[in-house]
Amino acid sequence: MGVKILSPFDNLSETAALIEAGADELYGGVEPPNWKAGIVSSSQRTFDSAHFSSEDEFASAVKLASSVGARVSITLNAPMYEKRMQPALVALAKRAEEWGVKGVVVADPSLILALKDGGVALELTLSTMAGALNAADFAFYNALGIARAVLPRHLTISEVKKIVDASPGITFESFILVGKCPNEEAHCSFQHTSADKRWPCEIDYNVKNYNNQLFEGHPFIDYLNSWRGCDRRFACGLCAIHPLIDAGVGVLKLVGRGGPSAGKVENVRLVKRFLEDRELTQADALSAYNERFGRSCSPLICYYPEFHPSRR
C-alpha cells in the first residue's frame, strides 16, 4: 500500500475536485444537531466554513468519495469534552458509520473510551490535540485503540523515524502543507475565533513575566518576535516528502479546513506532483512554492527546517 495524500474538505461541491487532484483520503467535520458550539467546537474549529453545513451534505459527500474509493474520516478532535457532551458525539460517529465514513480523528482519551464502549467501529486516528509527543505517548494511545496518529509539527525527520520504528502497528500521518504553528498545538490556549482568521500567534503582542520583566534578547522573545506578521498559512514541507516516506510515514496530511476550495485543490496537486516524482530537487520545490504562494520559502514556516537552504 503506497503513501496516501490526506486533504481537508468542508462541502460537497469541492469533494470530486479534491479527489481528481490526487487526494486519496479526506477529513472533515459537522456539528451534531443542537450542539452548543459556544461551549466547545465538536471538531476543534470555531468558524462555520470549517464544517459541513449539515449532516445530509456530509453524508452526500461521503457517498461521492466512497464511490471512487476515497477514504473519509470525521473530526471529533477537541482536546477535551465534558462528559455530558459525549453521547451526542458517539451518536454522530455511529451515524457517520452508516454514511460510509471509515475513520474518526480524536484527541480526548475519555471520548476514545466512550466511542469504544458505544460500539463505534471506526478506525481511530489520534489528533495532535492529544499532545502525544514521543513513542511512549503513542504506545499509551495505541493500547486504548488508536490505529493511526498525526505526528506533532515540531519533529525533525530523525525524530519521526525513531517514533515510527518504535511504534509498530500505528500508521503515522505527517503535516506537509500549510498551517504550521509556532506553539505546541495541544498546549496552546489561544482562541482561534477571529472572523478574518488571523490567529493570535501572528499578531504583535508584548510578552512579560510575572514581574513585568524579561531579559532583553532572551531566545523566547526573539522567537516570538520573529513570528510577528508571519502568515502560517503558507507553511510547506515539500522538500521532506521522500525523507518522510523513507522514515516510514504512511500519510501526507494537508491542513486547511475552512479555506477556499481552489486553494485546497492546488495544494493537493502540488503534493501529488512531488510525491510521484523522486527526481524533483529542492530547487524545484523552492520554485514551485514561490509559484504557488507568491513568496519565498521561510525557515519559520518550513515544516522540516533542517532541509531549508538557510540551515545548511
160: nearest Cα among 234, 246, 239, 237: 246
> What's the pLDDT at 221?
73
Distance between CA atoms of 29 and 75, rounded to whole angstroms?
5
> What's the pLDDT at 238?
96
> What's the pLDDT at 211?
61
> What's the pLDDT at 91?
97
pTM equals: 0.91
How confident is the model over 247-278, as pLDDT tens digits?
Answer: 999 999 999 998 899 999 999 999 999 999 99
All domains in the chain, ordered by first residue: 4-185+231-311 (3.20.20.380)
| CA atoms within a 13 Å half-sphere pointing along the CA-CB vector of 231 | 9
| 27 in Cβ contact with 71 (< 8 Å) | no
> What's the pLDDT at 196?
67
The residues pairing with 16 across neighbouring beta strands, listed in sequence order, are none
Q: How many helices (DSSP H) and strands (DSSP E) are in the chain?
A: 10, 8
Helix (H) or strand (E) holding 171: strand 171-177
Reading the block at residue 46, the C-alpha cell is: 470555531
| 64 in Cβ contact with 15 (< 8 Å) | yes
| 253 in Cβ contact with 275 (< 8 Å) | no
How confident is the model over 146-163, as pLDDT tens digits?
Answer: 999 999 998 999 999 999
Q: Identify the segments of the chain with pLDDT beneath 50.
A: none
Distance between CA atoms of 44 and 34, rounded to whole angstroms?
17
Distance between CA atoms of 142 and 161, rounded to whole angstroms?
18
252: nearest Cα among 264, 237, 233: 237
